[in-house]
Amino acid sequence: MRTAQSLLSSDLDALEEQLAGYEGPLKISLAGPWTLAAAIELPKTLQPLLSDQGAVADLTVSLAEATAAHVADIAKRVPGATLVVQLDEPSLPAVANGEIPTASGLSRIAAPDVAVISDRLQTVLAAAGSYTIVHCCASGVPFAIIMAAQPDAISFDLRQVQREDGDLIAELADAGKGIFAGAVRTILPRNTQDDQPAQTAKRILRFWRALGMAPSQAGRQIVVTPACGLAGATPTRANEALAHSREAGRIVPELAEETTGDDE
């Protein structure tokens, strides 16, 4: 624990130094309660903590307290920043579908009640006290569960969206929620036609139009992001993916403006 705290403190010192005087949005990410509950083992049984709903409740309270403290620390270190807090929940679909294996691997842990899943998420989101995002890059994103937790935005891999998800995503968009569209792959052959920001922007705008949303709203609600985390990418590819995302995000409203007259 002391080693982990020391490493975190060192990272935050570097963050503070690099962002001295910075003003603007600053996104920080934390693992969400359900992904943690699926990954952490209980000390005696070695079962996933998810198997004990009392332990999940305790974990949620602890995570909420830690989130509030972490956000406050960063706000103090970078006072000009507008903090955006993202909860990463890649295991959420497996939790909601009862697909997390027991320690033996011979059975699966029963899915918690959907209302409980949303409530636990909402507890941590509320503690952030900032603009909040729930991110899930796995297939089968439980959009309804996430929507019930009331984040300010939802983030997902555009390639994982199913046809039946369209109505729920449209409902989120209608409610004014931010749509963080993961459209840039972190590992991709270079210099291909599909690996161009303009092509990415076109895909996103097609997706937005398929939801039945006005193109003029795309630039206000959609944020172009890498499809999933950058941990597996090289530093060079990570920089390329971020630059690609930023350029595609700049192009989206331009394309939307060009097509507005045809649709409205």
Instruction: Give the domain CATH number at 134.
Output: 3.20.20.210
pLDDT grade, residue 260 (50/70/90)? low
Average pLDDT over residues 23-36: 96
Tokens read off for 91: 């295991």
Place of tokens 């006290």: 129
Residue 84: inside a domain, yes or no?
Answer: yes
Q: Is residue 261 part of a domain?
A: no
Determine the residue type at 9.
Answer: S
Q: Has residue 42 been placed in a domain?
A: yes
Per DSSP, 168 falls in state H
Question: 151: closest CA among 115, 116, 118?
Answer: 118
Burial of 4 (C-beta count, 10 Å sphere; 0-12/13-18/19+): exposed
Domain that holds residue 236: 25-196+217-244
Where residue 247 falls among pLDDT bands split at 50, 70, 90? very high
d(CA 245, CA 158): 13
**Spacing of C-alpha 108 from chain mean position:** 26
CB 218 within 8 A of CB 174: no
Residue found under tokens 């198997």? 51
Q: What does the pLDDT read at residue 217?
A: 86
Whether 153 maps to a domain, the answer reads: yes
Q: How many domains does the structure of the chain reveal?
A: 1
206 assigned to some structural domain:
no
Of 12-26, 28-42, 190-204, the poorest mean pLDDT is in 190-204
- Name the residue with higher pLDDT: 142 or 229: 142
CA angle 40, 151, 120 (to 5 degrees): 35
**End-to-end alpha carbon distance in the chain:** 57
| pLDDT bracket for residue 59 (50, 70, 90) | very high
Residue 53 lies in a domain: yes
Residue 86 lies in a domain: yes
Q: Is the pLDDT of residue 263 over 70?
A: no
Q: Is 228 domain-assigned? A: yes
**Mean pLDDT of all residues in 212-229:** 89
Asked if 115 contacts 161 with a C-beta cutoff of 8 angstroms, the reply is: no
Asked if 252 and 183 touch (Cβ cutoff 8 Å), the reply is: no
